[in-house]
Chains A and B, each alone.
Chain A
Amino acid sequence: MMLGYLGAGALLAALVMGGFSALLSFWSGIRQSATFIQVGRRAFYAAAAMTFLSAVVLEVALLTHDFSLAYVVEHTDLSTPTALVAAAFYGGQEGSLLYWTVILSVLGSASLLASASLGGRVAAYAAGILASILTFFLFVLAVVASPFDVLSVTPPDGLGLNPILRDGGMLIHPPVVLAGFASFAIPFSFACAALLAGRVDAAWITHTRRFALLAWSLQTAGLLLGMWWAYHVLGWGGYWGWDPVENVALMPWLATTAYLHSSQVQERRGRLRLWNFGLVITAFLLVVFGTFIVRSGVVPSVHTFAISAIGPWFFGFLVVCLLFSALLLTLRSNLGVEAKPAPAVSREGAFVLQNLLLLGVVAVVMWGTVLPLVSGMFGVQRVAGASFYERAAGPLLAAILALLAVGPLLPWRHAGRATLRALRWPVAAAIVTLMVLLIAGVRSAPALVAFPLAAAAGATALTEYARAALRKPRSLLRKRRRYGAYLAHLGLVVAVTGVAASHFGQQERDVTLQPGEAVTVAGYSLTYAGSERRQLTDHTEFVAGMRFGDQTLEPSRATYAGLGGQALTHVAISTTPTADLYVVLAGTNPDGSATFRVFVNPLVIFIWAGGAVIILGVLLGNVGERSAATELARRRIPVTLPA
């Protein structure tokens, strides 16, 4: 009970410090008072420290099974393994909000520490905006959805964690996704601060890009881990279902992908300044929108979310952020005036087109997500199935893939004959792939577009490496950012190949087998060896043995007696270099037979491997990359506008 009061007290202290920091930072930014700017920033650090303290308190309460707290009772019980008790910190509504707030306050502090080079006013406004966002979250935590609510009667045991969440993936996927979501606030704050102060220079881009890259990397990892988790745990044979929860995580990622590319146009050519601000702001607004959608239950989802009191608060927050950003962008629209138009066929042109296409995908995903809401207002609700997203976003994704092959070969400013010559390798790769597919008997038009384009994009990245290695081997190390980016492109090509192969080539079969009987799916032969019952501490497992070559796959069903007999299916997956054999035990029958659903999913491992390469490329290209930043700051003359 003491812990409850301590945690609530720490939250309240953080709220007061956060609000103080917000007001003081804005005021001192306007007055340009260096001392008070410093004080405002320190108040932010203090709020961060108090938030962190409350998080420690909640974690201690969970680990010591302090059942006087409603949150501990609702999400754990005495039989929950310790690692999962610790993970329950971000396993529930209130705790996940607290986790989000902690990440926001810690990353926010780090970004403010690093903000000295931006000048006093930008740093002060950024602190003010960050502190305002932090204050909003702390207010929701302290007043609307507190993880420290104390029960009037302390029960002897808790309600426990849903078995589907009792999985290793639970330890890693949610914290990465939530950290990704939280970190989008930092580029947003610095973008708005620079707009408020009327300062748009290379230092802003360098600082914002670093944190946008961090948010993007976390979100990339979070999306991949979510797909991996869904694939290995949920047992429907796929990894992406276009559920609103997935969609809202994808949209800010797409907008930030656009920003990471278009910011180079500003760095190199001084163009697209207002556009870049718009992208950073859009990414954050999409995060707030997504949080509202997901936590308020306004759209039907496979995930049911508690109709909680935080929905209206997030809606209000979204409206405020939207109005504030729109006002800022309108006030500073003079930044968008560009001296001279750029030629269409150039690197800049490719980046702009890529940006437009990515935003097109965002529009498709957004429409699919809000369709039930919009159609519900005018009659019977409609929902968008997977085929809506495939038909509407598919052509846009194909165009992006084509740009991935052409864009890196285009020079800045003007493209000449040399570009056409450089295109011969990607074009050759596409033609060869198309031939191979046609000879192999592939007739699906989308597949005949996707694979050759992926091959072309891969060929482009490889020829860039080859050219550098032959002519200027040292540039591979010197221009780390560039060659890191090509590695990320290669990773994307590998992942896209995996997505396309498993999408177009998935085979599935339902079979009922007696012990000793065999089935063949897509050339893979499986023999049902029989099944056994295993009694474990908190659940019973029914395990079927499936012989595949010299290995035995063990799909199973577990039943948790303590949780009203809830069942949990464990998928068995055998990964070969060309395909995953994915076996689900659908049920057992009185005559001793068992029913299975068997999937053969080609090249799924390419998705995970490609994802890892993307993140590796971003890390190799950017971690410790200091020279480029300082060089940029030296080369660019700051553009200062009258405030």
Chain B
Amino acid sequence: MRWGLPAAVVAACVGYLIYSASGGATEYYMTVSELQAHAMAGDVRVAGVVQDDVHRSDGLHVTFTEKDGTASMPVQYTGTLPDIFKPGITVVVEGKLGGDGVFHARTLLAKCPSRFSTQPYVK
């Protein structure tokens, strides 16, 4: 038996799986201004900087404004916050923009200051 046929069959299956999963299980990743320019029906991920108006009603409920260079939007989130969450950091929120203009975030990720990202010391 030559391996060409099984390889083609597996490749076709993998292609189909990737194609079908790409449809439903991927999300748009955009900035605040991009989100405001294109209204999105499904879940999206939006990156932006947390502004000073962070308000926590208790450990799990938080509202704040997220802003990129030009546009800003209010965000509402329930859940545990990353340790480094504070005004000035970049976060990625995942969820939907409501009809009221408030973004309802299902998840909130902080850009993790990793091993490779310390600010270079002024040389």
In the complex, whether B69 has a CB less than 8 A from a CB of chain A is no
Q: Is the CB of A306 within 8 A of B59?
A: no
Q: How far is the CB of B17 from chain A (nearest CB, A)?
A: 4
Best-buried of B6, B24, B118 by chain A (most CB within 10 Å): B118
In the complex, whether A594 has a CB less than 8 A from a CB of chain B is yes
Q: Is the CB of B17 within 8 A of A387?
A: no
Q: Is the CB of B25 within 8 A of A306?
A: no
Q: Report the stretch among A199-207, A430-438, A488-496, A566-574 that lies at the interface.
A: A566-574
**Given contact pairs A356-B7, A381-B30, A512-B59, A586 touches B116 in the complex (Cβ within 8 A):** no
Q: Is the CB of B17 within 8 A of A395?
A: yes
A307 to B16: give the CA distance in the assembly, Å: 35
A364 to B38: give the CA distance in the assembly, Å: 28
In the complex, whether B80 has a CB less than 8 A from a CB of chain A is yes
Q: Is the CB of A302 within 8 A of B112?
A: yes
Q: Report the stretch among A90-98, A413-421, A613-621, A625-633 that lies at the interface.
A: A90-98
A298 to B85: give the CA distance in the assembly, Å: 24
Q: Is the CB of B18 within 8 A of A364?
A: yes
Interface residues on chain A, size class = 35 or more
CB-defined contacts of A343 to chain B, threshold 8 Å: 1
Majority SS of interface residues in chain A? mixed
A597 to B119: give the CA distance in the assembly, Å: 33
In the complex, whether B70 has a CB less than 8 A from a CB of chain A is no
Q: Which B98-121 residues have C-beta < 8 A from chain A? A: 109-121
**Given contact pairs A149-B123, A235-B80, A363-B18, A512 touches B112 in the complex (Cβ within 8 A):** no
Q: Is the CB of B27 within 8 A of A586?
A: no
Q: Which B42-97 residues have C-beta < 8 A from chain A? A: 45, 47, 56, 58-60, 78-81, 83-84, 86, 90, 92, 94
Q: Is the CB of A302 within 8 A of B109?
A: yes
CB-defined contacts of B116 to chain A, threshold 8 Å: 92-93, 96, 295, 303, 305-306, 308
A91 to B118: give the CA distance in the assembly, Å: 10
CB-defined contacts of B25 to chain A, threshold 8 Å: 384-385, 387-388, 390-392
Q: Is the CB of A382 within 8 A of B29?
A: yes
Q: How far is the CB of A564 from chain B (nearest CB, A)?
A: 9
CB-defined contacts of B2 to chain A, threshold 8 Å: 341
Q: Is the CB of B121 within 8 A of A74?
A: yes
Q: Is the CB of B115 within 8 A of A174?
A: yes
Q: Is the CB of B115 within 8 A of A91?
A: yes
Using CB atoms, name the residue of chain B closest to A589.
Answer: B58
Q: Is the CB of B29 within 8 A of A381?
A: yes
Q: How far is the CB of B31 from chain A (nearest CB, A)?
A: 10
Q: Is the CB of B114 within 8 A of A304?
A: yes
Q: Is the CB of B112 within 8 A of A391?
A: no
In the complex, whether A270 has a CB less than 8 A from a CB of chain B is no
Q: Which A145-179 residues have C-beta < 8 A from chain B? A: 149, 151-152, 155, 159, 162, 164-165, 174
Known contacts A70-B120, A357-B10; 13 additional CB pairs below 8 A are A70-B121, A235-B83, A304-B117, A344-B6, A356-B6, A383-B28, A387-B24, A392-B18, A392-B21, A557-B83, A567-B83, A585-B59, A595-B59
Name B residues whose Cβ lies closer than 8 Å to a Cβ of A. Answer: 1-3, 6-7, 10-11, 13-14, 17-18, 20-22, 24-30, 34, 38, 45, 47, 56, 58-60, 78-81, 83-84, 86, 90, 92, 94, 109-121, 123
Name A residues whose Cβ lies closer than 8 Å to a Cβ of B. Answer: 70, 73-75, 91-93, 96, 149, 151-152, 155, 159, 162, 164-165, 174, 235-236, 295, 300, 302-306, 308, 341-344, 349, 352-353, 356-357, 360, 363-364, 367, 371-372, 380-385, 387-393, 395-396, 510, 512, 557, 565-569, 584-589, 593-597
8 A-B pairs (CB sep. < 8 Å): A174-B115, A300-B47, A352-B6, A367-B18, A385-B25, A392-B22, A567-B84, A593-B58
